[in-house]
């Protein structure tokens, strides 16, 4: 055996999981074979065994499935996967029913398949540490717990009790696990695990799983219970409303839970295996595993960070502009222990920016989720001011003023000299090229873009933009600063609109173009939702302000004119310009955009849209509309890759999902291409280009970049 050490001494059989060449233990094929061999050996040694201990030689107990192996699966591999899963469960059942007490010594995290390994034990002992995590996160990766996790959690917690831990992938620490009855004993450290296990084995020579007891009853009742049945009648509809039918994993998990609760234990295990075998080879599962595991870990491990020694964390950061964005950044910093100077043109405006942190924290205090002391400590870290002198000694200064080049230049020159000797300056611009803004700086090599997304307290992504002169140290420090805030950094090179704003613009402007073609606005919005975008394109345009889009359009025209060129506006941009300049519809903040915003009432689409734009004879196909919204964004992302604005697939996928709400089921804007299949995607783009124009044309150099960056497994 290569991944498991089997030892039998003094009547105790110990299985120590230790996958070679890996920092964690996984359910790789070798481990599956080794588990079968170990269980067969225990069957031979049964008479000499008093108890069995499951342990790990790693710093964690067990990480779960071999996800790289999963990425290599093809649709035709489903039957083989089913057989493999069933063999793992057969081994678990042999352990459980051997008639010998089995103890799992949980020295660290046990997630997914790792938690299912732990559930094979009759008794689970864990180190009492709040940072250790247990649970079943498979749904977040487009999978379901299929190695007995669903069946056992339902039988331990009941149908309703298990839902958060299966359908919502809720994780839990050892103490919560103890309270739930999922862990039976806590010890202070790893050295105490084995003695506690041996003591329990000695005290419990006969052990069985709860579901194997003759008097077992499912907590809360089975689906036959009228109360449970009543809740289950609405559960699928509620789930469908959340997933919009785009995410099969939660639906498969619920089906497995309910169907399994109506049959005997072993049949329930087979039901679970069938659902997993079907799901694990699906495109959605591969897309989500690729992005939410591999791409996310690539960013967390700093693969986009330039090589620069040391880890940076600023002690004091200045923010210029105390509007919603500046106030949000101030909160994000203060909540992470960073001293913040929040400057605006008047103390009253700066104080209003600080009040944003009160608005966020007060409900938590009122509900007991935050102590008044912690709230006051957070607020004390924010110093509102109207004086630039208070910025003296800042390690980093971020300007978050209005998107106007002259204004940004003015505040840069006013504040930059106040930086600490090794400090650096950042712009929070969402569209203006950093290289141009850096012309106002005395040290352009220490000038970088740090683009937060609104609302800052909720949005996890931060886009770091390297200007032409920005050095590696500054980019690395910006990367570390973003991680210090608990947010996700992506790194892109400078261009107009960078990556996220540029791709986001194609989404909203494609939606506006549809309105200009005479398609009903309600249909356009529904197409966005059914494609998996969190909000329809017209609603998003209203939220970000139509007037801002027109301001950016005017600025782009002026910039290109100054460079001797001409900017040709898209049909969507021209329609938005009409909305603002002809109809005075500036967006939600102005109370009027594509939607009406009655005071105290629910927003509704502006009735005049029908009269002014809708065409009764306009032909439209819903699948075409959905594809236009997603394919257009994917093509623009690929263009960013070809132009060097993006330098990695993981930044593209994570940035598109967490920055602009590209649907998670796709795995991100580039994974959408790879998941569809490059040839199939390019053919679809050609069809759309023939119908809807040059936005869908994929140039040869873009095709080459798509193929060159294709992930290999």
Tell me what the mean pLDDT of segment 524-543 comes to. Answer: 97
DSSP for 182-196? SS-EEESSGGGHHHH
Residue at token pair 């021209």: 574
pLDDT recorded at residue 233: 85
Q: Give the pLDDT band (50/70/90) at residue 236.
A: confident
Tell me what the mean pLDDT of segment 667-683 comes to. Answer: 97
Least Cα distance to 692 among 553, 513, 506, 504 occurs for 513
Task: Reply yes or no on whether 19 is catalytic.
Answer: no
Tell me what the mean pLDDT of segment 465-489 comes to. Answer: 97
pLDDT digits over 125-148, tens only?
Answer: 999 999 999 999 999 999 999 999
Least Cα distance to 34 among 72, 88, 82 occurs for 88
User: 3-state DSSP helix/strand/coil percent for the chain, to nearest 5?
Assistant: 55, 15, 35
Could you give the CA distance from residue 634 to residue 296 in angstroms, rounded to a whole number? 19
pLDDT digits over 325-340, tens only?
Answer: 999 999 999 999 999 9
Task: Using the predicted structure, report yes or no on whether residue 711 has a pLDDT greater than 90.
Answer: yes
Q: Which residue has the higher pLDDT, 234 or 274?
A: 274
Least Cα distance to 200 among 108, 105, 133, 128 occurs for 105
- Supply φ then ψ for residue 57, to 5 degrees: -90, -5
347-366 vs 372-380: helix crossing angle, rounded to 10: 160
Tell me what the mean pLDDT of segment 672-682 comes to. Answer: 97
Token pair in block for residue 569: 């506006």
Task: Using the predicted structure, report yes or no on whether residue 521 has a pLDDT greater than 90.
Answer: yes
Per DSSP bridges, beta strands 419-427 and 447-452 are: parallel
Task: Using the predicted structure, report yes or no on whether residue 497 has a pLDDT greater than 90.
Answer: no
Task: Using the predicted structure, report yes or no on whether residue 232 has a pLDDT greater than 90.
Answer: no
pLDDT recorded at residue 595: 98
Q: Which of 19, 84, 96, 116 is catalytic?
A: 116
Task: Using the predicted structure, report yes or no on whether residue 684 has a pLDDT greater than 90.
Answer: yes
Tell me what the mean pLDDT of segment 683-706 comes to. Answer: 97
Q: Apex CA 186: angle with CA 203 and CA 168, to 5°?
A: 120
Burial class, 553, CB count within 10 angstroms (exposed 0-12 / middle 13-18 / buried 19+)? buried
Tell me what the mean pLDDT of segment 249-253 comes to. Answer: 96
How many CA atoms are closer than 13 Å to the CA of 450, on its beta-carbon side?
A: 29
3-state secondary structure of 178: helix
* Domains of the chain and CATH, by start: 4-281 (3.90.226.10), 316-496 (3.40.50.720), 501-644+648-708 (1.10.1040.50)
Task: Using the predicted structure, report yes or no on whether residue 671 has a pLDDT greater than 90.
Answer: yes
Task: Reply yes or no on whether 386 is catalytic.
Answer: no
pLDDT recorded at residue 552: 86
Could you give the CA distance from residue 102 to residue 706 in angstroms, rounded to a whole number? 51
Burial class, 434, CB count within 10 angstroms (exposed 0-12 / middle 13-18 / buried 19+)? buried
Longest Cα–Cα distance of the chain, Å, equals 89
Tell me what the mean pLDDT of segment 455-460 comes to. Answer: 94
Q: Are 430 and 403 in contact (CB under 8 A)?
A: yes
Could you give the CA distance from residue 154 to residue 171 in angstroms, rounded to a whole number? 15
Q: Give the pLDDT band (50/70/90) at residue 220.
A: very high
pLDDT digits over 394-412, tens only?
Answer: 999 999 998 888 999 999 9
Tell me what the mean pLDDT of segment 597-623 comes to. Answer: 95
Q: Are 134 and 106 in contact (CB under 8 A)?
A: yes
Burial class, 257, CB count within 10 angstroms (exposed 0-12 / middle 13-18 / buried 19+)? buried
Strand (E) or helix (H) holding 248: helix 248-260
DSSP state of 564: T
Q: Give the pLDDT band (50/70/90) at residue 351.
A: very high
Those residues whose C-beta lies under 8 Å from the C-beta of residue 368, and which sit 6 or more positions away, are none
Q: Apex CA 711: angle with CA 706 and CA 713, to 5°?
A: 155
Q: Apex CA 380: angle with CA 379 and CA 385, to 5°?
A: 90
Could you give the CA distance from residue 134 to residue 108 in angstroms, rounded to a whole number? 9
Tell me what the mean pLDDT of segment 639-647 comes to. Answer: 97
Task: Using the predicted structure, report yes or no on whether residue 573 has a pLDDT greater than 90.
Answer: yes
pLDDT recorded at residue 436: 94
DSSP state of 171: -
Burial class, 604, CB count within 10 angstroms (exposed 0-12 / middle 13-18 / buried 19+)? exposed
Q: Are 114 and 211 in contact (CB under 8 A)?
A: no
From its phi and psi, is residue 55 left (phi > 0), alpha (psi between -120 and 50) or beta? Answer: beta
Least Cα distance to 13 among 59, 44, 57 occurs for 44
Q: Which of 19, 84, 96, 138 is catalytic?
A: 138
Task: Using the predicted structure, report yes or no on whether residue 203 has a pLDDT greater than 90.
Answer: yes
The runs of H, that is alpha helices, within 517-570 are: 521-531, 537-544, 546-562
| Arithmetic mean of pLDDT over the chain | 96
Q: Could you tell me the CA-to-CA distances from 259 to 150, 164, 169, 224 in Å, in that order?
A: 11, 18, 20, 11
Q: Give the pLDDT band (50/70/90) at residue 621.
A: very high
Q: Are 226 and 163 in contact (CB under 8 A)?
A: no
Least Cα distance to 117 among 129, 105, 127 occurs for 105
pLDDT recorded at residue 310: 86
DSSP for 505-524? HHHHHHHHHHHHTT--HHHH
pLDDT recorded at residue 51: 98
- Report percent pLDDT > 70 for the chain: 100
Tell me what the mean pLDDT of segment 626-649 comes to. Answer: 98
Q: Give the pLDDT band (50/70/90) at residue 241.
A: confident
Tell me what the mean pLDDT of segment 641-659 comes to. Answer: 97
Could you give the CA distance from residue 273 to residue 256 in angstroms, rounded to a whole number? 9
Least Cα distance to 182 among 190, 192, 171 occurs for 171
pLDDT digits over 252-285, tens only?
Answer: 999 999 999 999 999 999 999 999 999 999 999 9
pLDDT recorded at residue 452: 96
pLDDT recorded at residue 544: 87
pLDDT recorded at residue 161: 96
Least Cα distance to 425 among 446, 452, 451 occurs for 446
Task: Using the predicted structure, report yes or no on whether residue 555 has a pLDDT greater than 90.
Answer: no
Radius of gyration in angstroms for the set of CA atoms belonging to the chain, rounded to a whole number: 28
pLDDT recorded at residue 227: 87
């Amino acid at each position: 055996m290569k991944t498991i050490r089997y030892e039998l001494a003094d009547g105790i059989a110990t299985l120590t999981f230790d996958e070679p060449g890996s920092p964690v233990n996984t359910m790789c094929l070798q481990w599956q074979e080794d588990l079968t061999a170990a269980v067969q050996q225990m069957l031979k040694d049964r008479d000499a065994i008093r108890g069995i201990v499951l342990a790990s030689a790693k710093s964690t107990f067990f990480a779960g499935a071999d996800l790289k192996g999963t990425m290599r699966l093809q649709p035709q591999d489903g039957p083989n996967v089913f057989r493999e899963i069933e063999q793992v469960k057969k081994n678990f059942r042999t352990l459980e029913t051997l008639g010998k007490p089995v103890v799992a010594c949980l020295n660290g995290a046990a997630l997914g398949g790792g938690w299912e390994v732990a559930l094979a034990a009759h008794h689970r002992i864990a180190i009492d540490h709040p940072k250790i995590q247990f649970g079943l996160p498979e749904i977040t990766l487009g999978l379901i717990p299929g190695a007995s996790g669903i069946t056992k959690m339902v039988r331990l917690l009941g149908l309703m009790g298990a839902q958060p831990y299966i359908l919502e992938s809720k994780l839990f620490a050892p103490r919560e696990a103890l309270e739930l009855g999922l862990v039976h004993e806590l010890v202070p450290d790893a050295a105490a695990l084995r003695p506690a296990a041996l003591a329990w084995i000695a005290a419990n020579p006969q052990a069985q799983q709860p579901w194997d007891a003759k008097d077992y009853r499912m907590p809360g009742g089975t689906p036959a219970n009228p109360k449970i049945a009543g809740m289950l009648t609405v559960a699928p509809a509620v789930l469908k409303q959340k997933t919009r039918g785009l995410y099969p994993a939660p639906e498969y998990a619920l089906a497995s839970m309910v169907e399994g609760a109506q049959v005997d234990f072993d049949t329930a295990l087979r039901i679970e295996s069938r659902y997993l075998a079907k799901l694990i080879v699906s495109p959605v599962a591969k897309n989500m595993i690729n992005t939410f595991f591999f791409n996310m870990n690539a960013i967390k491990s700093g693969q986009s960070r330039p090589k620069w020694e040391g880890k940076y964390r600023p002690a004091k950061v200045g923010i210029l502009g105390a509007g919603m964005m500046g106030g949000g950044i101030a909160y994000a910093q203060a909540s992470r222990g960073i001293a913040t100077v929040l400057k605006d043109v008047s103390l009253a405006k700066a104080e209003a920016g600080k009040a944003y942190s009160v608005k966020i924290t007060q409900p938590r205090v009122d509900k007991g989720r935050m102590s008044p002391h912690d709230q006051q400590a957070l607020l004390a870290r924010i110093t509102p001011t109207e004086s630039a002198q208070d910025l003296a000694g800042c390690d980093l200064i971020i300007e978050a003023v209005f998107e106007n080049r002259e204004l940004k230049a003015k505040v840069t020159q006013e504040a930059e000299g106040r930086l600490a000797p090794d400090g650096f300056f950042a712009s929070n611009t969402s569209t203006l090229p950093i290289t141009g803004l850096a012309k106002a700086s005395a040290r352009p090599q220490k000038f970088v873009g740090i683009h937060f997304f609104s609302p800052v307290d909720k949005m996890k992504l931060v886009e770091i933009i390297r200007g032409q002169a920005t050095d590696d140290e500054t980019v690395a420090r910006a990367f570390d600063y973003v991680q210090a805030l608990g947010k996700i950094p992506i790194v892109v090179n400078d261009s107009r609109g960078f990556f996220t704003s540029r791709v986001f613009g194609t989404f909203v402007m494609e939606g506006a173009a549809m309105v200009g073609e005479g398609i009903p606005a309600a249909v356009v919005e529904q197409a966005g939702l059914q494609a998996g975008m969190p909000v329809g394109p017209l609603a998003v345009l209203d939220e970000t302000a139509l007037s801002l889009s027109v301001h950016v359009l005017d600025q782009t025209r002026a910039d290109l004119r100054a460079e001797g060129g001409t900017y040709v506006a898209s049909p969507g941009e021209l329609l938005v310009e009409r909305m603002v300049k002809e109809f005075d519809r500036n967006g939600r903040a102005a109370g009027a955009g594509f939607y009406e915003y009655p005071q105290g009432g629910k927003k509704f689409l502006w009735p005049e849209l029908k009269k002014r734009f809708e065409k009764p004879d306009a032909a439209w196909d819903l699948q075409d509309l959905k594809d236009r919204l997603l394919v257009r964004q994917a093509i623009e992302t690929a263009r960013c890759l070809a132009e060097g604005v993006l330098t990695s697939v993981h930044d593209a996928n994570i940035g598109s999902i967490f920055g602009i709400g590209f649907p998670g089921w796709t795995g991100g804007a580039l994974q959408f291409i790879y998941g569809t299949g490059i040839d199939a995607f390019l053919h679809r783009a050609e069809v759309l280009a023939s119908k809807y124009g040059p936005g869908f044309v994929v140039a040869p150099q873009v095709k080459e970049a798509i193929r060159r960056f294709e992930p290999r497994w």
